[in-house]
Structure 1
């Protein structure tokens, strides 16, 4: 809904700073300059994200670059790596503080690309009542799988998507939905397959219809059918409020605008 950019604090800025610190240490220790040759410079930048991601809690870290038949190695202190971050982390912390309400709990989702960044989590913990949530590497793929029908659209063309609900991490099913679980949604005499995801329009006058702006979406996750609603107060399940964390089962009834849909199970092999 709201995107705020903090200039000169992004991933490329930090990687550039760390690369310069590591290159300087190579020169001081081995008189080898990885930035002097295009191949070794590229090798340094290719290896850098993995090095940072796998940093351990020790005070000294080892880095190696291979040039011709020689492998050059250096050891760099945690303190030196932190020097690259010192001017940037306070800007990030201040930006987060400006976006949340004082004395109220908030959650911050952290990309897997930030794993291992020296001093980052310690800096973020300076923000009171802030919960840090590490997202797995496949989170973007999971969200795309959950919302693929919205992204692709009814005509097979890719929609202009600027925002998707996060929800739980959705694992694309590796097999067909279990026949003991819900497979279709029944409206009057008409049954519609749920598949991997089924975004349903708020207008049920002609039955369930695909929508790019759905009232709710049914989707498969770990062989269970889940529901995601854009407006939970307009939808009831079995007469009660929607619980997006509870899997739906055959027989559950979804109420929307005075109409009713029932989850059913249809055996795959007839």
Structure 2
């Protein structure tokens, strides 16, 4: 049986089997006496019990005593054990596991991780660099910079791809993670409620918690729209505020500038899915490709199929065989991107996809198509395909093993599409057509 794969990013740990994510859990915990709550349940109480809340136990994985140690949790390693144990059980307790890790972990932390895995009755068969794994499954030869955000840092990894994908350099930006950024987002949004509705959601713990709970949804909405209206309900009253994408991007600019200061205009960048979820980070689509969350698992697929061996002093794998059939090839110029080869003669890059009388906007965030002619912003069991801008092209990806056709030809897994193409599902009369919407005076 193939080994399971755990991506160890404390923004959200993800466990996949056979390329499919079967369990996920954010890296947070609440310790109250002998009770430890981890994952989503802990996140949903973080601002109700701030003194009992912990979210640095993966980032600072060690055996240094907690500020309030207890018999249940003496140090960060105890919390990491509890978190990993719960994730492992939620996935059915697979025996053999490949750990995919960022370059931010030290050798001492990795040794501690292997001990924690053993205590969880996990057989760790490999440790793989996350950037290398993400690129091995899909990226064409060349030099790239892989960038991903965690809760408390951003990791920029240089990759050289020829017959292998090789990690050549690492730059870790500590203190620049999603945790601190989300606090800044919430503080700004709270100011908007105060200015527009004379309501301070940070004054009460329950409304403060609701702000953090809703923040991911608001950020996702701002990926698609320039401005959104949001609300908080409190004591049978509804308070509203309007926030714009430009304002949120302004809050994030110090982080964005810190990352971009490490990147030249001509660098080809592979953007991790967590960083790509932040509005406004993608600036130059011709040289920036958004990786899907499944790609990191695809890069470890061949390792997962190898017979499991006992843990004998594992070291991090920083080189994997590159794919012979890449789906990503970025232009080396941010000024003159490589032209898209249209699958329909004379077609151009699409901005929307049309189904019936409805046109849905395309962006770097996936748009999921359903068999009944609808489009959704999240993957579900009804999804047959996803569309999104990646690099200088729009990509169509099959979902849930759907039998898709592009211009009446079968689609295996993924294919570029342009304006004028026809997307259909085997046995269905529904037609999706990528189109380009232009301003009245546009050429």
* TM-score, structure 2 as length reference: 0.31
- Larger gyration radius, structure 1 or structure 2: 1
Higher relative contact order, structure no. (Cα contacts within 8 Å, ≥ 6 residues apart)? 2
* TM-score, structure 1 as length reference: 0.48
Q: Which protein is richer in helix relative to its size?
A: 1
Q: Which protein is richer in strand relative to its size?
A: 2
